[in-house]
Amino acid sequence: MSGGACDDTLVIQLGLPAMRDLTAPYHAHIYYEAGSRATAERLHDNLAAMRAGNAVSGLLFVGELRDRSVGPHPKPQFEIHFVASALPRLVSVLGNAGLTVLVHPVTDDDLADHTTLAEWIGEPLPLDESVLDPPGRNQGIARFGKSDV
């Protein structure tokens, strides 16, 4: 479900494949513009506090706000890393923020992760697929839970 508000259908769609493995890795990319940066900062701070206080078990990493495009991402964004067990809670928090969010699993297929396996909260954005790793390789696996670069 893309383009609409967050609801239980989105959680089910995002959760079905990986929920068999509650430790399956996920990323979410939270996009913002100059006019919505304050909203992104508040969400970032809330997520960082949730992680620090272990309020959401499975939220492992909250990255820096990047005020420029990075990798395939066409706008400023920050990313979070989490495991599948945190998916329902985080999708709810992210969906209520009013920002565009890309949520995807982290598998050995970076292109599929960002396209066919991904779900959008809000209006989907065009990604630069040319910079994504080919199937069988994903640099995101090595940095999962540790770094956003």
- In whole angstroms, give the CA distance from residue 137 to residue 130: 14
pLDDT at 13: 52
| pLDDT of 84 over the 80 cut | yes
- Express each pLDDT in 37-82 by its tens digit: 999 999 999 999 999 999 999 999 999 999 999 999 999 999 999 9
**Three-class secondary structure of residue 81 per DSSP:** strand
- In whole angstroms, give the CA distance from residue 38 to residue 41: 5
DSSP3 helix / strand / coil % (the chain, rounded to 5): 35, 20, 45
Domain residues of the chain, as ranges?
A: 8-143
Res. 133 pLDDT band, cuts 50 70 90: confident
Mean pLDDT of 31-35: 97
Q: What are phi and psi of 123, to 5 degrees?
A: -75, 125
- Express each pLDDT in 135-147 by its tens digit: 888 888 878 878 7
pLDDT at 129: 94
Q: What CATH homologous superfamily does 8-143 map to? A: DOPA-like domains (3.30.70.1240)
Greatest pairwise CA separation for the chain in angstroms: 39
Mean pLDDT of 71-98: 96
- In whole angstroms, give the CA distance from residue 123 to residue 114: 15
The two three-digit tokens of residue 50, written as one number: 């949730």
Place of tokens 């565009």: 100
